[in-house]
Amino acid sequence: MSNAPLVEIDLAAFWRDPYPALAAMRRDHPIAHVPQLGATLFTRRAHIVELEKLTEVFSSHQPQGLMNRLMGLNMMRKDGAAHIAERKPMLAALGPQAVRTHWEPIFRADTQRVLDALAPLGRAELVADCAMPVSAHALRALTGLVNMRWQDMDAWSQAMIDGIANYAGDPAIEARCHAATAGIDACITEAMPRLLRAPDPSLLSVMLRAGLPEDSVRANIKLSISGGQNEPRDAIAGAVWALLAHPAQLASVRRGDVTWRRVFDEYVRWISPIAMSPRRVAQRHTVDGVTLEPEDRVFFMFGSANRDEAFFDDPDRFDLGRNDSGAHIAFGAGPHYCAGAAASKSLIAEVALPAIFERLPGLRLAPGADVRFGGWAFRGPLSLPVCWG
C-alpha cells in the first residue's frame, strides 16, 4: 500500500458534497489515502495531467475492477495498442465531422420532440422530464440501440454507474447492475442482425464492421451507455440550474455576450459530471515523496482538479466571465480522453441548452424548489422543479 498520508472522510457527507473535503486534501495532502474508498486520491490538476499519461505506471487495466467484473473488458480498461484498436472505430463514429453532419440533426429533432411535448404543461421536473429523455434519445441513436426504450436507457445506465461506484459492496446495487447489463445484452442481440444487413454510422454498426470481437463490442456499448447517458443528462439539467441560479449570467447569454459553449465549459469545470477515473499501479513509483506500490488503487479526481486554486481563479464560483474555463479536464487529460466528447458538446451546448431556453420562455425555478446534488464519482442534480410562461 502507498505511504500517502491517511485522510478519513464521512462517505455520506462526501456523496452530498465532496468539494470541501477535496479542497482540504488539495491544501494539506494532495496525494491522500482514503480508507473509506480503499484508494489513494490525486486531487491536484498538475499531478493528474502529468500522471494520466504514464500508462506504464498508472494502468487502466484492472482485472479485478468493478467495471471489468460488472460490464466486461472495454477499451477504458485497456492501454496501448489494445486500447487504440478499440478506440479507433469509435472515433470514426463520434468524431467532430460525423457529429456535425450526421448526429447533430438527429439530436435537434429528438430534442424538439421532447420540448414540444413539455411546452404546453408550464411546469416540469427538468431532470426526469427533459434532460433524461433528451440524453437517452441521443444515445439510442448513437449506439444503434433504437430498439431500446429511452426509459430503459436511463435506468440501465444509472444502474451500471451505481454498480461501478459501489466500493462499499452493496449486494442490492450489484444485483441491479447485473439486471441492467442483461437487458442491454438482449437489446444488442436483437439489433445486431438488422445492423449487419443494413449498416449505419452508429457505434454498434461501426464496431461490427471493424471486426471487433463480440465480447469487446458488447463491453464497449455498455461503456458508452454508462458514461454517455448520465454525463449529458446531468450537465444539461445542472447547467440550466446554474443559469437560473445566476440570473445576471443568464442575461449575458441571452444578450449574446457569452456563448452556449462557454456555459458548457464553465459548468463541467465547476461541477464535473464524471468526477473520477480509477487506475491500477502497475509498478512502484514515487510522486512528491509518496511511494505507490504495485496493485495499489488510485483515483484521479477530475472534479477536484477542475477546482484547483493553483490553476483556476476563485474556482468554487460559477463564472461565465472567466477566461480559464476551457482548461477543464472533465473529459480526461490523457490517452483515455473521452471518445464521445464531440457528441456531448454538440448535444449539450449546440442543441439542448439553447433549445430549452428558447422553447420554454420565462423558464425559472418552481416556487419552493429544493435543488439537491449528489455523487462524488459521478455528480449531478437529483431533481430540478421548474416552471415557465
| pLDDT tens profile 1-46 | 899 999 999 999 999 999 999 999 999 999 999 999 999 999 999 9
Predicted confidence (pLDDT) at residue 250 exceeds the cutoff of 90: yes
Question: Is residue 234 in a domain?
Answer: yes
Is-contact 302 329, C-beta < 8 A? yes
Predicted confidence (pLDDT) at residue 167 exceeds the cutoff of 90: no
Terminal CA-CA length for the chain: 58
Nearest-angstrom CA–CA distance, 281 and 207: 30
- DSSP for residue 341: H
Give CA separation, 265 vs 259, 262, 367, in Å. Answer: 10, 5, 28
Question: Is residue 233 in a domain?
Answer: yes
Question: Is residue 1 in a domain?
Answer: no
Most confident listed range (164-173, 301-310, 333-342): 301-310
Question: Is residue 250 in a domain?
Answer: yes
pTM of the model: 0.94
Averaged pLDDT of the chain: 94
State the amino acid at position 124 in one-letter form: A
Question: Is residue 237 in a domain?
Answer: yes
Lowest mean per-residue pLDDT among 155-159, 325-329, 340-344, 354-358: 325-329
The boundaries of the domain holding residue 338 are 11-387
Average pLDDT over residues 197-217: 95
Please report the pLDDT score of residue 185 as a whole number: 97
Predicted confidence (pLDDT) at residue 145 exceeds the cutoff of 80: yes
The residues with which 279 forms a beta bridge, in sequence order, are 298
CATH number at residue 109: 1.10.630.10
Nearest-angstrom CA–CA distance, 104 and 172: 38
Please report the pLDDT score of residue 211 as a whole number: 94
Please report the pLDDT score of residue 92 as a whole number: 85
Total domains, the chain: 1
5: exposed, middle or buried (Cβ count in 10 Å: 0-12, 13-18, 19+): middle
Question: Is residue 370 in a domain?
Answer: yes
Predicted confidence (pLDDT) at residue 367 exceeds the cutoff of 80: yes
Is-contact 299 42, C-beta < 8 A? yes
Give CA separation, 170 vs 72, 167, 274, 351, in Å. Answer: 19, 8, 21, 38
Question: Is residue 5 in a domain?
Answer: no
Question: Is residue 315 in a domain?
Answer: yes
> How many other CB atoms are there within 10 angstroms of residue 267's CB atom?
28
